[in-house]
Amino acid sequence: MANQNNTTAWADLPNAKYIDMIMYSLKKENTAWVAVKDAAWDTARLAARDAAYNAAKGAAKGAARDAAYNAARDAAYNAAYNAARALIAWDDCGYLLEEKPEDVKKLALLGNQAAVLLYPACVALQSRVQSQ
């Protein structure tokens, strides 16, 4: 299905509607992508805080905290971009975004490359649907 507006570089791809959905979702920074970022942020922040506290206080702690936040933010963006890449590479994988995340995870564990790349987006988009 092509993008109805034909304004994007991927409008002619079979998965254009899914790429549009990912990009729109990311652009609006809905709570689903924020949740992906926050989960990564919390884990990285706690690890950085503990490491900084044990190693040195003050400036080192702040620098480690900033690095952890940037890594978490990048993780959320990378999840969205990897999903878009999968949708571009495999014409038949868009349906995975409509499946249950646990089913996509099973496919990913079995080695399905599209499922590996789409799993984080599937989780983010599923949590968005549940929060509405």
Q: Which amino acid is at 40?
A: A
Tokens of 103: 């089913």
pLDDT of residue 30: 64
Domain ranges within the chain, ordered by starting residue: 16-131
pLDDT at 2 over 60: no
Q: What is the pTM of this model?
A: 0.59
Place of tokens 């987006």: 121
CA–CA separation, 24 and 30 (whole Å) = 9
Q: What confidence tier does 10 reach under pLDDT thresholds 50, 70, 90?
A: confident
Instruction: Indicate the DSSP class of residue 71.
Output: H
For residue 33, give both structure tokens: 């992508």
Which H or E run contains 110?
A: none
